[in-house]
């Protein structure tokens, strides 16, 4: 069994997935698909080069985040490294001691099989290296759900990293912890958004969506209160429960510096007591 006192981490990056997803996050949905041919034919074309630069992946932020869980014993990145859009990252990845696994698409627009190769390697590594405690999967495809589930059954703590808006909810739910790439320390949030998405008639006429994080907070508070048979609950316990319910939850990704700030932003749902050494929260009287 893995030794949790000496945490050892394996990292697997579906690099094509992250590059494409971040490009869409920066420039708007399906932008990569629309620009794919131009990127493939001439990535140095001024307009395309500028768009690629704006959607640059911060490799260091991903690796540093993974290292926060323990010692990195192996790190692999899967992609077609002959493609210029990926080749520009090779020196950065090699400098961080990342193994580059070369994949080739079966056809011009086919998948390159990263999910299959990555999953096979990860399972093999878990049997070959029984001291692995954590598996970090950097991807957003629902195809990785069985891998995450298998890693958990084999006793590993599974961490997922994916681009907000491009990650399957099923993958986030299958992980023990899931964080958006956008929210990693050092990652600059996108400043360029597709104007068509922001100003389309459908977007202008639609009503504001309900805040799912508020519902999540209320649900966790009710569950914790029922379990402890008390109104006031430790904020840390409530946050832990929220993370178990939704591993993708991150108060920082929602624009809050701390969990307390997140709770304070929902006064209609919960109250905060910071008068003591321990932060306590409870359901707002109207909700009780």
Q: What is the pLDDT of residues 190-244, one digit of tens each?
A: 764 444 444 444 444 444 556 788 888 998 898 888 777 888 999 999 998 888 8
Residue 123: pLDDT over 80 = yes
Question: Which of the two residues, 5 and 74, has the higher pLDDT score?
Answer: 74
pLDDT number for residue 185: 79
Record the tokens describing residue 277, joined without a space. 């050494």
Q: Kindly state whether residues 40 and 90 are assigned to the same domain.
A: yes
Final residue before a domain boundary, out of 164, 195, 226: 195
Average pLDDT over residues 115-135: 94
Beta strands in the chain (DSSP E): 8-14, 71-79, 99-102, 134-138, 157-162, 177-180, 233-234, 270-273, 280-283
Stated pTM of the model: 0.75
Q: Is residue 205 part of a domain?
A: no
Number of Cα atoms under 13 Å in the Cβ half of residue 126? 23
Please check whether residue 62 is in contact with residue 138, taking contact to mean a CB–CB distance below 8 angstroms. Answer: yes
CA distance 88 to 107: 22
Record the tokens describing residue 254, joined without a space. 């929602």
Which residue from 19, 141, 151 is spatially nearest to 89, judged by alpha carbons?
Answer: 19
Measured distance between the N- and C-terminal CA atoms of the chain, rounded to whole angstroms: 44
CA distance 101 to 68: 24
Q: What is the CATH number of the domain that holds 147?
A: 3.40.50.1010
Q: Kindly state whether residues 155 and 57 are assigned to the same domain.
A: yes
| DSSP three-state, residue 272 | strand
Q: Kindly state whether residues 35 and 130 are assigned to the same domain.
A: yes
Q: Kindly state whether residues 160 and 20 are assigned to the same domain.
A: yes
Please check whether residue 162 is in contact with residue 171, taking contact to mean a CB–CB distance below 8 angstroms. Answer: yes
Q: Kindly state whether residues 67 and 169 are assigned to the same domain.
A: yes
Cβ neighbours around 148 below 10 Å, total: 27
Domain ranges, residue 279: 212-283
Q: Is residue 207 part of a domain?
A: no
Domains identified in the chain, total number: 2
Q: Kindly state whether residues 182 and 253 are assigned to the same domain.
A: no
Among 57-61, 73-77, 189-193, 260-264, the minimum mean pLDDT is found in 189-193
Q: Is residue 206 part of a domain?
A: no
Average pLDDT over residues 151-161: 96
For tokens 């597709």, what's the residue? 194
Q: Kindly state whether residues 39 and 138 are assigned to the same domain.
A: yes
Beta-bridged to residue 187, according to DSSP, are: none
């Amino acid at each position: 069994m893995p030794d949790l006192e000496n945490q050892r981490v394996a990292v697997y990056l579906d690099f094509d997935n992250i590059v494409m997803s971040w490009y869409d996050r920066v420039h708007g949905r399906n932008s990569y698909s629309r620009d794919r041919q131009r990127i493939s034919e001439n990535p140095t074309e001024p307009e395309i080069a500028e768009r690629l630069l704006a959607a640059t992946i911060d490799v260091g932020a991903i690796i540093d985040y993974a290292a926060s869980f323990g010692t990195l014993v192996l790190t692999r990145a899967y992609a077609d490294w002959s493609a210029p859009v990926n080749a520009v990252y090779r020196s950065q990845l090699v400098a961080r001691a990342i193994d580059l696994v070369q994949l080739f698409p079966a056809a011009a627009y086919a998948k390159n099989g990263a999910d299959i190769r990555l999953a096979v390697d990860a399972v093999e590594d878990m049997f070959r290296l029984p001291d692995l405690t954590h598996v970090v999967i950097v991807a957003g495809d629902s195809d990785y759900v069985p891998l995450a589930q298998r890693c958990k059954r084999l006793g590993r703590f599974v961490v997922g990293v994916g681009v907000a808006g491009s990650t399957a909810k099923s993958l986030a739910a299958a992980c023990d912890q899931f964080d958006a790439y956008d929210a990693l320390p050092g990652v600059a949030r996108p400043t360029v958004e597709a104007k068509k998405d922001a100003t389309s008639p459908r977007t202008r006429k639609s009503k504001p969506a309900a805040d799912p994080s508020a519902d999540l907070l209320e649900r966790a508070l009710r569950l914790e209160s029922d379990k402890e048979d008390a109104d006031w609950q430790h904020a840390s316990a409530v946050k832990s429960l929220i993370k178990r319910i939704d591993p993708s939850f991150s108060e920082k990704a929602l624009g809050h510096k701390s969990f307390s700030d997140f709770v304070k932003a929902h006064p209609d749902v919960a109250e905060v007591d910071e008068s003591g050494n321990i932060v306590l929260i409870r359901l707002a009287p109207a909700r009780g």
